[in-house]
Amino acid sequence: MNADDVRRSAWAMPLTSPSYPRGPYRFVNREFLIVSYRTDPQALAAVVPEPLVPAGDVVRFEFIRMPDSTGFGDYTESGQVVPVTFEGRQGVYVHSMFLDDDAPIAGGREIWGFPKKLGSPKLRVDKDTLLGTLDYGQSRIAAGTMGYKHRAADHDAVLRSLGQPNWLLKIMPDVDCSPRVCELVEYRLEDVVLKGAWEGPAALQLFEHALAPVAALPVRQVLGGLHLNTDLTLGLGRVVHDYLGR
């Protein structure tokens, strides 16, 4: 394989058998359990990178089932997103993510900069309750519950929320472990079909863990739960800020 062959073939790691195909990436029947809660404002400020600004003291803990996603397959994901503002625009910053499938871990980190780590999240219906759990190794680090489909949510408000920009901190090291890439990336969810949206009473427990510190944003007050069923496309991102000043 000569240098021209490498340039033509190079897309993702490894060269001759990339961990994921090129996008776009479409998700069918993507199901969310989102528990919103108030946290410690100082703890929140300590993890949101400038030039993003926390929009209050709210965090959203998400459990997401993705049974049909092009290129990535069938997997489940969980993590924390933070409502923020950037240059006067409202959106969310993705703070932590844990999932159970190699392809979206590799693709999410390498393409967009999603803060993905290997975990064992689950989302299922337990009798009259929607139950989300997240384990890191053998340790339970999060458990969320919501009354199953207690009342319809505002369809238009949910669509507006899903249409907001999302921001990520993309970090990739150089061969000497100095930062080669350190960028703020913006992406959006596209072609969203909202098949159902429900609200209900919710609860959330977070547990301390040295390597999966979801409890570093502690639960002070649970604000409510949201249950969604969607089809959507994960849009590719754009760099909106370079921390290395290039």
Q: Where are the domains of the chain?
A: 21-242
Residue (of 56, 55, 54, 37) closest to 46 by Cα position: 54
N-terminal to C-terminal alpha carbon distance within the chain:
32
Please list the active-site residues. Answer: 116
Q: What is the pLDDT of residue 246?
A: 74
Residue 35 pLDDT grade (very low, low, confident, very high; cuts 50, 70, 90): very high
Q: What is the pLDDT of residue 140?
A: 98
Rounded average pLDDT over 109-117: 97
Q: What is the pLDDT of residue 116?
A: 98
Rounded average pLDDT over 202-228: 98
Residue 98 pLDDT grade (very low, low, confident, very high; cuts 50, 70, 90): very high
Q: If you average pLDDT over every residue of the chain, what do you get?
A: 97
Residue (of 111, 117, 73) closest to 95 by Cα position: 117
pTM for the model stands at 0.96
Rounded average pLDDT over 53-65: 98
For the stretch 156-214, pLDDT in tens is 999 999 999 999 999 999 999 999 999 999 999 999 999 999 999 999 999 999 999 99
Q: Which residues pair with 147 in a beta bridge?
A: 129
Collapsed DSSP state (helix, strand, coil) of residue 107 = helix
Task: Give percent of the chain above pLDDT 70.
Answer: 100
Q: The domain 21-242 belongs to what CATH superfamily?
A: Acetoacetate decarboxylase-like (2.40.400.10)
Residue (of 90, 109, 96) closest to 44 by Cα position: 96
Rounded average pLDDT over 116-120: 98
Task: Give percent of the chain above pLDDT 90.
Answer: 98
Residues 6+ apart with CB under 8 A from 186: 86, 91, 165, 166, 167, 168, 237, 238, 239, 240
